[in-house]
Structure formats: C-alpha cells, structure tokens
C-alpha cells in the first residue's frame, strides 16, 4: 500500500473515512476485496504470496492498514509486514496494546495505522514509539506519517474537500485516480533511480509491470455501519472490477 489518507473523527456523521491506493507489481498474486473464508468478520484483500493484507476492516469496527518505508538496498525482514494488519484484524487487543507488543526488528521498514473504533494509533519501526492520534486528517505514503511529499499534500487537501460530499464517493475516487507526475524539481529523493521517482510521484501509479492495483474507500458511519469499495486495476491502469461490501456490528458471522 503506497498511499493512505485517513479522516479520524473530523466529520460528525462519519468518524472514520479512509481513501487508499495499493501499489504493487501486477504479477504478485492477490485476492480481491472479500470476506475472508476462514474469518468472515474480516473484510479485505489478501496477499496470496505472503498471506497478509495491506488494508482491512471488521464487522466490529477494527481497521488496519500498512505501507512500507522506501529503503533501497535494505533487507526484507524476517516477517511479512502484511502480517501486522492481518493479526490485528483477527485479534481482540486494543490498538495501543497491540502496537506496543510489535517487535519492529522482525520487519523491514513499515508504517501501520490501527483502530479498534475507540482510538487510532500510528506505529512505525522507523519513527518514534507508537502514538494515539487526535482527531484530524492524516496521510501516509512510503516515508513517515504526514511526510510532505507532493502527492501526499495534494491527496490530503482533496480528501478534506471530498468529506463535504459524503455520502457521495465520486470525489474520493477522482482523487485516487490522479495520475499526474510531479515536476522533477519537486520530487522527493528516496534513493531510487529518477525514472522511478517520477513514476512513484503520482497518486495513481501506472506502467507495464508496476502500479496501483487497488483503490479503496472505507466509510464508517456514526452508527457503526461500514461500507468498503475497492476498484482494482491491471497493467497501465486498466480497470478490472469494482466491488462494494457493506456491514454493521450485527452482521458478524
């Protein structure tokens, strides 16, 4: 997952709103948005290579999402970062307790957002200790929380404007579909070749081999009803499918 914008308790009717793009090699096997067969209370995609997920939610109000930290040349880590989100969604620990127990040395660089419905926590093994976030709009890409990368600044601004149109979804997906590339003089320097810096500077990434595989919107209402929509894409950003799942606390199986 390479871009996540979260609105936490900034809208009176929608306490949690998440707009996210997952960027990955198109060849990596992936299961699309669905209720998990062995844990139907969990809704999300599945990374079929490592068994975790980049983003998911549950009927009882849990939410988790992870991005990697772009660190060219660093080792992969002993454990998959997607397991961090998977294990939180399958568990019952509070956000703070779960984050405090993570052994960051087991993983390559990660950013993790967790919510149990009561608190939103940010955790990273490349930043300070986990912290509970106050109400606000937050953005993650492949550095630290709210790093001022151009695409993240643009995404947060447009996300804030889109909140006023809820329950409408169009403006969120227009934001997530923005494939404009940043000018070279505004590119971050993350240690990858300039061609990759250009490619990855877009909110929606597309090429022949690597790009935005899924755009996801999560909207939780004040009564705990939750809607998840995922639009998925293939090489060069070609649309594949759009799926929507709605749930509430009473729909747990």
Domain boundaries, the chain: 3-251
pLDDT at 224: 85
Q: DSSP assignment of 199-221, as one string?
A: HHTSSS---SSEEEEEEEEEEE-
Residue 250: pLDDT over 80: no
Residue labelled with tokens 């935005």: 212
Query: How many CB atoms sit inside 10 A of residue 44's CB?
Result: 28
pTM above 0.85, yes or no: yes
What are the b/e assignments for 97-121, b being 16+ CB within 10 Å? ebbeebebeebbbbbbbbbbbeebb
Q: Which two tokens stand for residue 166?
A: 């809820």
Average pLDDT of span 202-208: 97
- Residue 76 or 243, more confident: 243
State the average pLDDT over residues 209-221.
Answer: 97
- Summarize pLDDT for 16-65 with one digit per residue, the tens: 999 999 999 999 999 999 999 999 999 999 999 999 999 999 999 999 99
Residue 17 CB contacts under 8 Å (≥ 6 apart), including other chains: 6, 7, 11, 159, 163, 166, 217, 218, 219, 220
C-alpha to C-alpha distance for 120 and 118, rounded to whole angstroms: 7
pLDDT tier at 74 (50, 70, 90 boundaries)? confident
Which DSSP string corresponds to 66-84?
EEE---TT---BSS-THHH
Supply the pLDDT for residue 253. Answer: 43
- Please tell me the CATH code under which domain 3-251 is placed: 3.60.60.10
Window from 37-51, 63-77, 207-221 with minimum mean pLDDT? 63-77
pLDDT digit string, tens, across residues 130-173: 999 999 999 999 999 999 999 999 999 999 999 999 999 999 99
Whose tokens are 């590119």? That residue is 187
Task: Give the pLDDT band of residue 76 (cuts 50, 70, 90).
Answer: confident
- What's the Cα-to-Cα distance from 108 to each of 50, 60, 105, 126, 238, rounded to whole Å? 14, 30, 8, 9, 30
Q: What is the pLDDT of residue 249?
A: 64
pLDDT at 252 over 80: no
């Amino acid at each position: 997952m390479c871009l996540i914008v979260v609105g936490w308790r900034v809208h009176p009717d929608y306490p949690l709103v998440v707009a996210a793009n997952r960027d990955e090699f198109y060849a990596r096997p992936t299961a699309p948005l669905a209720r998990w067969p062995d844990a139907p209370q969990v809704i999300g995609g599945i990374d079929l290579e490592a068994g975790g997920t980049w983003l998911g939610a549950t009927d009882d109000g849990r939410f988790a999402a992870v991005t990697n930290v772009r660190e060219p040349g660093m080792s992969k880590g002993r454990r998959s970062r997607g397991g961090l989100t998977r294990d939180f969604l399958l568990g019952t620990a509070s956000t703070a307790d779960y984050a405090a127990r993570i052994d960051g040395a087991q993983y390559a660089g990660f950013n993790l957002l967790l919510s149990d419905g009561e608190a939103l926590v940010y955790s990273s093994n490349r930043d300070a200790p986990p912290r509970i976030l106050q109400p606000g709009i937050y953005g993650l890409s492949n550095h630290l929380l709210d790093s001022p990368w151009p695409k993240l600044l643009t995404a947060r601004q447009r996300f804030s404007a889109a909140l006023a149109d809820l329950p409408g979804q169009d403006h969120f997906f227009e934001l997530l579909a923005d494939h404009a590339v940043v000018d070279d003089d505004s590119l971050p320097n993350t240690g990858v070749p300039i061609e990759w810096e250009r490619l990855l500077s877009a909110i929606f990434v597309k090429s022949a081999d690597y790009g935005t595989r899924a755009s996801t919107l999560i909207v939780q209402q004040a009564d705990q009803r939750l809607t998840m929509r995922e639009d998925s894409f293939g090489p060069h950003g070609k649309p594949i499918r759009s799926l929507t799942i709605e749930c509430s606390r009473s729909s747990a199986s």
